[in-house]
Amino acid sequence: MTAMRDQRDDQLTPELARVAELLRADEPVRPEWRAAVLEEVARTPREAQRSRRLQLSIPMAIAAGIICAIGGAAISYVATHGSNASERAIPNPAAMQQTAAATGPSLPVKFSIAAPQAASVSIVGDFNHWNPTALPMTRSADGTHWEIEVRLPLGRYSYAFLIDGKVSADPTAPQGAGDDFGAPNSVLMVRGS
Long-range contacts: 167-172, Cβ < 8 Å, 24+? 167/124, 168/113, 170/111, 170/113, 171/113
Highest mean pLDDT among 28-37, 85-94, 103-112: 103-112
Burial group, residue 127, by CB count within 10 angstroms (0-12, 13-18, 19+): buried
In the chain, where the domains are located = 93-190
Among residues 169, 164, 157, which one has the least CA distance to residue 128? 157
Q: What is the CATH number of domain 93-190?
A: 2.60.40.10
Give the model's pLDDT for residue 118. Answer: 92
Would you tell me how many other CB atoms lie within 10 Å of the CB of residue 78?
10
**Mean pLDDT (whole number) for 154-183:** 80
pLDDT digits (tens, 9 = 90+) for 119-135: 999 999 989 988 999 99
Order of strands across the sheet that contains 138-139? 106-114, 145-153, 138-139
pLDDT for 93 beyond 70: no
